[in-house]
A and B are shown apart, each in its own frame.
Chain A
């Protein structure tokens, strides 16, 4: 087990480094050059100014040296400064990711609380009304894009005056109830797709387990169907949840960009989007790397948890 964890950890670190390298490289392909982006519009772009700025940011050095310096800073947690606000990208990311992580956790919670029971019931009563309903809901849930759902929710809630906030955000420290209320619609929007995925995966996993020999044995030796269902089937059938939660992270991080933009929430996703639309390269670079990093490590955690839960996996 420790060996498996170590190998996976090393792979995750290598993946993250490659991602960082790709992002760094991509930023150097930007039209107009990275130095041009630092300098902004053509105004005052005299050769001396360009040279001074390039020297200041180390842009006159060979690209390999630049990469080394940048990587050293990044590893130490310094992702540079925003070109617009001059604030530290790292501290902005840390500050804003709290909201994004909260939103992601709420959506995950929703998917588990609704998805697991629905999936289990659907599998245990296959082809019943409950099963048909679960399958229909999950298929429809998977097919409505989050930005369509969110837009429609905003429209319905605001025109019918349902009293839920459709935009903006109240910090938890100020007013906890208001804070949670401001996250209801974003969570619903973000959580519908993951809930549908959990329903489907749990259903098919429980159906798979139902066919296992040990379940047949448990039944054959006369255990009460409920005992078989709860102790033998559901416990094993829930294992894939771990993987799904890991994979959903990737969707949730992308979805956070959309949901935060839609509901004007000051999270990491919106920071990334404004950074990109404003051509604020250090912000874009930092947020994309941090997003990929979160995804890689969420999956790493899921893999390790999976190996721990399913004794059939060899390390």
Chain B
């Protein structure tokens, strides 16, 4: 479990167990049932929608969370076009006004629309989480693949460095970044990336070690395929499933970390809205205007719930050992 805890387990929130690195080395996509036509490049695309359809059939909860997330992303992206209003527009009349037909989620302490700020904050939080999760995933996966494939001193070095990085709970790392870089967005992204790189490099490394020893990899090497080709064509597809699951958990960890750091005043700085900074603002005035705190808080919790649920469902969908449970 320690090998694949998200950003989370080390600080912001423990990742969802059980999500160990794949233990068996059997390639998940490489094997073809006897008698089946060889999977040529063109036929891979025909197999993808079928597994998507299977996921839709087997995991209604997963589909609901995916749809919810999609809706959140679309709302965040389209934001201003949806007529939610200007997040910076002030109105004395709307100050602390409870939810009404004009201000669906009420007004905040400056008379700004909570809905408009929520939509804009959601965009910033989602963007920050996505960018940092993807950055961490690419760097971490690369390190894991390379260190697992080449082994030796490089592997030893990468593993020792990740050991040290694992010793920083995420929030502590965030505190450190806030000192060195001044509180702000850069610190948040860097915190999430540094905290998550070791997770991805471990998730990628284990299967790489196993795939390196398989006959088809050895055959590829004998034929003269370059390490880069072997890593990307043979190893990566085998690792992609656990990585995808990990990416989901990392996204929820990243949302959580951004929220926590901004809530503490170390992340996104006012007046820029993010789910965390909105909650921080709302907390101050919650006794007179609870809606300024409730809506951002619930949005964040629901978004994290949806990502976790999706990750969970993906995990049990892709891991046959978990299916029967």
- Segment touching A, from B110-118, B137-145, B163-171: B163-171
* Per-position 1/0 for B178-196, Cβ under 8 A of A: 1110110000000000000
Q: Quick one: which of B259-313 are within 8 Å of A by CB?
A: 259-260, 263-266, 276, 279, 282-283, 286-287, 290, 293-294, 297-298, 300-302, 304-305, 308-309, 312
Report whether A27 and B170 are in contact in the complex, using a CB–CB cutoff of 8 Å. Answer: no
B108 contacts the other chain (CB 8 A): no
Known contacts A19-B164, A258-B171, A291-B172; A276/B17 CB under 8 A: no
**Total contacting residues, chain A, CB less than 8 A:** 62
Task: Kindly state the separation between the CA atoms of A126 and B17 in the bound complex, as whole angstroms.
Answer: 17
Report whether A145 and B260 are in contact in the complex, using a CB–CB cutoff of 8 Å. Answer: yes
11 contacts between A and B (CB under 8 A): A15-B163, A143-B252, A145-B13, A148-B259, A155-B294, A193-B13, A193-B14, A244-B1, A251-B12, A253-B11, A253-B172
Q: Quick one: which of A148-202 are within 8 Å of B by CB?
A: 148, 151-152, 154-155, 158-159, 193-194, 197, 200-201
Report whether B179 and A284 are in contact in the complex, using a CB–CB cutoff of 8 Å. Answer: yes
Report whether B172 and A143 are in contact in the complex, using a CB–CB cutoff of 8 Å. Answer: no
Known contacts A27-B180, A200-B18, A254-B171; A147/B1 CB under 8 A: no
A binding-site residues for B, Cβ under 8 Å = 11, 15-16, 18-19, 22-23, 26-27, 29-31, 126, 139-140, 142-148, 151-152, 154-155, 158-159, 193-194, 197, 200-201, 204-205, 207, 240, 243-244, 247-248, 250-251, 253-255, 257-258, 261, 272-273, 276-277, 279, 281, 284, 287-288, 291-292, 295-296
How many residue-residue contacts, CB under 8 A, span A and B? 173
Complex contacts, A154 vs chain B, CB 8 Å: 286
Report whether A200 and B279 are in contact in the complex, using a CB–CB cutoff of 8 Å. Answer: no
Known contacts A145-B13, A288-B172, A288-B175; A155/B293 CB under 8 A: yes
Report whether A247 and B264 are in contact in the complex, using a CB–CB cutoff of 8 Å. Answer: no
Task: Kindly state the separation between the CA atoms of A22 and B18 in the bound complex, as whole angstroms.
Answer: 31
Complex contacts, A295 vs chain B, CB 8 Å: 10, 167-169, 172
In the complex, what's the smallest C-beta–C-beta distance from B209 to chain A, in angstroms? 19
